[in-house]
Amino acid sequence: MPHVVTQACCADASCVNACPVNCIHPTPDEPDFGTADMLYIDPDVCVDCGACVGACPVGAIVPDDRLAPDERVFLDLNAALSEPGRTYPPQAPVPAIRRLEPARGPLRVAIVGAGPAALYAADELLRQPGARVTVFDRLAVPHGLARHGVAPDHPRTRAVTDLFALIEAQPGFDYRLGVEIGRDLTVDELAAQHHAVVYATGASTDRPLDIPGLDRRGSMSATEVVSWYNAHPDHVDARVPLDHERAVIVGNGNVALDVARILATPAESLARTDISPLALAALRDSRVREVVVLGRRGPAQAAFTLPELVGLAAREDIDLRVEAPDGIAPDAEPDLQRRLTLECLAEVAARPPRTGSPRIVLRFQAAPVEILGGERVEGLRIARTELTAEEDGVRAVVLPGSEEVLPAGLVLRSVGYRGVPVPGVPFDPVTATIPHRAGRVLDRPDGTEVPGAYVVGWIKRGPRGFIGSNKTCAQETVDALLADANAGRLARSAAHRVSRNR
């Protein structure tokens, strides 16, 4: 009777080293760790000891006899992800922890941003005796997307804040909230007060979508809606028009799925979550009965992850539908995770409709063309695409003469996040990240290192991955910082080199 990794998996891999028989994969040293949608437990190897349960920060690991009815599907999913014949060493390698040489004296580090990447970096730094970490954030409340980005119906994922509370309680940890670097304090001032500065500013805006009609009322970014239902101080009183029976979301990543689910979930269920009261009141009066989630490419290129799809497909109160003009071909897909995604989509497409329930339509090969209406949104013109294989991947090309109009009162763009520059810190406008080498900030891509400046999280590697992906990211950055400290390359007086080196 094995344990099972369920939907909330944050992939921080804390469970991996707790396991005495190396049954949780991929481990951080395995090649598919960076691309895996979730970790899984090999049921043939698990000895059911439960050591992983306490190590998981989000309660995602459950003994199979305690799975809720809508989680049982994850038992099959863990088994399906465990490829027969794949062999593993008896123990996952434990990453070596670099030690700060005592002769270097106490280390003072500033971290800019208070989201998951910042907290994981603080945790790594505070393992060093005498280290002091001050975490700055422009908002008065910490935890970034763990607080303002996770959907309220994902309470286990939100429980990662319990781990953050343990990190915050460590000696040497300090917050300076409500302080914006670049406005209230310059990077030079910050650098002068610390041996090192770690930038963990995330990706706080949206990638743009270039179609006409974006300024009509009812055209919004999905992340604004996420911030609205999570009571982000900048968006808590946003006006989200819910008076039309259809909403359309452009893009089919996990943010799109989160928003579609919240719009389609009955308000009485949401009332049991910690959703913003203002959003709940608006959702109680919502007339939305159908949310169409558009993917410009095909099912094999869907951006949502397997556990989020499986979790949505298991919801009995939602009529999930799939529209894939060129069909779904799981057998042609070589990648196991993708194949399981396609199998799930094919199973959903073949289901009889659950008439009477709010509907989510996952529509593929549909590109946005123009948001229609007058002062407010009345619909979205879309076009069918065909897929072409190029050197850099599969592309969607609009088929001439294939346009149609989807009447809707709300059109949300959910095409990804984008990093924002910090004044005085190098920034690559193409990737919208801070250029770096193994976490050390560079003055430009492929340029020279900026002494004392480091980067972690989405502003380092782009807006991809899960909350726990920041743990291995933080380990890399902090390892570089400690190596520099041991080599005598960090000294407080040498600060503000960030701006001088630009």
Where does this chain touch ligand NAP (CB under 6 A) — which range of 123-131, 178-186, 264-272, 303-311?
303-311
CB of 212 to ligand NAP, least distance (A): 13
Which residues 434-493 are close enough to bind ligand NAP by CB under 6 A?
Answer: 463-466
Mind giving me the DSSP string for 117-149? HHHHHHHHHTTSTT-EEEEEESSSS--HHHHHT
Where does this chain touch ligand NAP (CB under 6 A) — which range of 247-255, 283-291, 326-334, 346-354?
247-255
CB of 304 to ligand NAP, least distance (A): 7
Q: Is 484 helix (H, G, I), strand (E, B) or coil?
A: helix
Closest residue (Cβ) to ligand NAP? 253
Kindly report whether the peptide bond that precedes residue 330 is cis, defined as omega within 30 degrees of 0.
no
Closest CA to 175 of 203, 138, 145: 138
For ligand NAP, give the closer residue by CB, 185 or 387: 387
Tokens of 167: 């990190």
CA angle 237, 239, 242 (to 5 degrees): 130
Q: Is 152 in the site for ligand NAP (CB under 6 A)?
A: no
For ligand NAP, give the closer residue by CB, 62 or 366: 366
Q: How many CB atoms lie within 10 A of CB 301?
A: 17
CB of 37 to ligand NAP, least distance (A): 8
Q: Determine if residue 36 is left, alpha or beta; phi over 0 gives left, psi from -120 to 50 gives alpha, anything else beta.
A: beta
Q: Which residues contact 132 (CB under 8 A, 6 or more apart)?
A: 106, 107, 108, 109, 172, 174
Residues 399, 383 contacting (CB under 8 angstroms):
yes
Q: Fill in the amino acid letter for 428.
A: D
Which residues 186-225 are close enough to bind ligand NAP by CB under 6 A?
Answer: 209
Residues shown for the chain: 502
Q: Is 255 in the site for ligand NAP (CB under 6 A)?
A: yes
Which residues 29-48 are close enough to bind ligand NAP by CB under 6 A?
Answer: none
For ligand NAP, give the closer residue by CB, 32 or 184: 32
Q: Is 67 in the site for ligand NAP (CB under 6 A)?
A: no
For ligand NAP, give the closer residue by CB, 432 or 482: 432
Output the 3-class SS for 204-255: CEECCCCCCCCCCECEEEHHHHHHHHCCCCCCCCCCCCCCCCEEEEECCCHH
- The conformation of residue 59, written as its DSSP 8-state character, comes to -
Tokens of 23: 């049954």
For ligand NAP, give the closer residue by CB, 42 or 308: 308
Q: Fill in the amino acid letter for 405.
A: V
- 417-418/205-206 β-pairing: antiparallel
Q: Is 230 in the site for ligand NAP (CB under 6 A)?
A: no
For ligand NAP, give the closer residue by CB, 3 or 418: 418
Q: Fill in the amino acid letter for 344.
A: C
109 pairs with which residues across the strands? 133, 196
CB of 464 to ligand NAP, least distance (A): 4
Residue of 64, 137, 308, 484 interacting with ligand NAP (CB under 6 A): 308
Residue of 416, 451, 452, 468 interacting with ligand NAP (CB under 6 A): 416
- The conformation of residue 376, written as its DSSP 8-state character, comes to B
Question: How many residues of this chain interact with ligand NAP, rule: CB under 6 A?
Answer: 26
x/- site string to ligand NAP, residues 279 to 298, per CB under 6 A?
----------------xxx-
Q: Is 158 in the site for ligand NAP (CB under 6 A)?
A: no
x/- site string to ligand NAP, residues 321 to 360, per CB under 6 A?
----------------------------------------
Residue of 303, 387, 398, 483 interacting with ligand NAP (CB under 6 A): 303
- The conformation of residue 371, written as its DSSP 8-state character, comes to E
Cα–Cα distance measured from residue 330 to residue 322, given in angstroms and rounded to the nearest whole number: 14
- State the residue for tokens 């610390």: 194
CB of 255 to ligand NAP, least distance (A): 3
Cα–Cα distance measured from residue 456 to residue 474, given in angstroms and rounded to the nearest whole number: 6
CB of 192 to ligand NAP, least distance (A): 35
CB of 387 to ligand NAP, least distance (A): 10
C-alpha distance from residue 14 to each of 10, 38, 43, 131 (Å)? 10, 13, 19, 23
Where does this chain touch ligand NAP (CB under 6 A) — which range of 20-28, 58-66, 415-423, 483-491?
415-423
x/- site string to ligand NAP, residues 357 to 386, per CB under 6 A?
----------xx------------------
Binding-site ranges for ligand NAP (CB under 6 A)? 209, 250-256, 258, 295-297, 301, 303, 305, 308, 367-368, 414-417, 463-466
